[in-house]
Amino acid sequence: MVLSHLEKLTDEAWLEAFVAQWHLLADLSFSDLLLWLPRDAGERFECVAQIRPVTGPTALEDDVTGETIVHELDHAVTAAFMSEQISETSDNELNAGIPVDVWAVPIMRGGRCIAILERHTNLMGLRAMGALEENYMEAAGVLTSMLLEGQFPLAPPMDKALAPKAGDGVLRVQPNGIITYASPNAITGYRRLGAQGDIEGEDFGDLTRRLRHGVETMGQTVVSDLREQRSAVFDVEQPRASMRFVLLPLEVAETSVGMLVLCRDTTDLRRRDRMLVTKDATIREIHHRIKNNLQTVAALLRLQSRRMKSEEGKEALRDAMRRVSSIAVVHDTLSHTLEEDVEFDQVCDRILRMVGDLAATSGVVHAKRVGSFGVVPSDAATSLAMVITELCQNAIEHGLLSSSGALEVRPSVDADSLVIDVLDGGVGLPEGFDITKQESLGLAIISTLIKDLDGTIELEPRVDGPGTRARITIPRRE
């Protein structure tokens, strides 16, 4: 069996991968599991992880994680570490008289014991033995032997929301590919996929191929199919049902004993996924339509401004058109993403192009962004876009006097806030300027929007040259 991808892992990474999947051993053995790491060359052991079974009662009411064992020769963990063999004892002193079987299994890797797995089984609550219990325990025994040999079947990484567990459905498949056991949940899943007759006794590869054309990873035998990989994951989907399969090859003393197949009915999950995709598409379409409607409004304002004779009226309509267009830019960005946050750099760049084109009645305005906004929550993006639009418009009209010049927007982000500087190289602020005493509609809009964002604004002369600096500080929200 090829183990190249396992051999490349460090001991710590290997144990992390094992703990990510040891729920399988806990559920199949109906046991609590503890992972002990040797410290000080085996003079003491520290419990670094614990898991309880979902298939039976716990044998350990308390959380043991973080506790240590000093070197005790009669302790199962110490005995397993020193002998590199499974140590089995019975313990009912610490469990209110409840009989508990305790197994300590050395986890071997490269001929070294890197950890000890301690297994506690509550015998009083152990289920009556039937076909399910017998196959579970037999599979748990094989997995324990593989663990002792450093070959626990690690499944490839997958979405935890779809990953099957023992309670979802289990199949035992022999080396010749014949199913010798199927749990009730596994049988129900196959029935939903359209399988007829008994599952047990069927060839796993043939049965699965009949349910879905295109599952071609199964060949003549299970061993030949999986000899180049530790495990396999695939989905069988039909219009009315779907299942996820995880194939785990079982091997003891380098001899194949077949395969353990975990399967999960994912019909409802897939249906919810499709509903979410539909919902996301609907939201994107809504943003797209809002953007189109706002662009239509902006076009109507432009047409109306051309028919007006009053310069003041024309300017008011142009301002309204610019504000509507800045909102449309945000909705256009949201229509192309599924994220709740907005990559605001592209929004700012489009606003700068738009403001420069509309505001400069003569000359050329060179507007640019220096730095990055990062991501901005969608519920704050519209307000921030309008604030930047108004500040840039004010800088061009009052700083550059609607003539040629340079305009910069400099965002910076730290752990607590987003700081935005809008800089122009114009004539600067008039003497005695006080933002709180201004009656400009643009400044009133800015102040209101920044207040809604819990931010602050400062207007002051630039220190690095002529012109004005407008600084906005907005606290970052998680």
**pLDDT, tens digit, for every residue of 265-288?**
887 777 777 777 667 777 778 878
Dist. CA 251–CA 248, nearest whole Å: 10
> What pLDDT is recorded for position 117?
92
What mean pLDDT comes out for the span 328-339? 78
Evaluate whether 404 touches 365 at the Cβ level (below 8 Å). yes
Band of residue 158 on the pLDDT scale cut at 50, 70, 90: low
Angle between helices 378-394 and 441-452 (to 10 degrees): 150
Higher pLDDT: 309 or 220? It is: 309
> Residue 1 pLDDT > 60, yes or no?
no
Residues in the chain: 478
Cβ atoms within 10 Å of 221's Cβ, excluding its own: 16
- How distant is the alpha carbon of residue 225 from its chain centre? 31
Is residue 220's pLDDT more than 50? Answer: no
The mean per-residue pLDDT over the stretch 189-197 comes to 83
pLDDT score recorded for residue 212: 64
**180 pLDDT band (50/70/90 cuts)?**
very high
Q: Is 443 helix (H, G, I), strand (E, B) or coil?
A: helix
Amino acid 26: pLDDT? 92
pLDDT score of 216 more than 60: no
Torsion on CA atoms 397, 403, 405, 410, rounded to nearest 10 = 20
Cα within 13 Å of Cα(245), Cβ side:
28
In single-letter form, the type of residue at position 250 comes to L
The pair of three-digit structure tokens given for residue 137, joined into one six-digit string: 């325990």
Whole-model pTM?
0.57
Report for 232-246, 293-307, 356-370: range of highest mean pLDDT: 293-307
Residue among 246, 248, 280 nearest 266 (CA): 246
- Name which of 72, 71, 82, 75 is nearest 44 in CA terms: 71
Q: 421: pLDDT confidence band, cut at 50, 70 and 90?
A: very high
Q: Residue 168 and residue 55: Cα distance in Å, rounded? A: 11
pLDDT interval class at 338 (50, 70, 90) = low
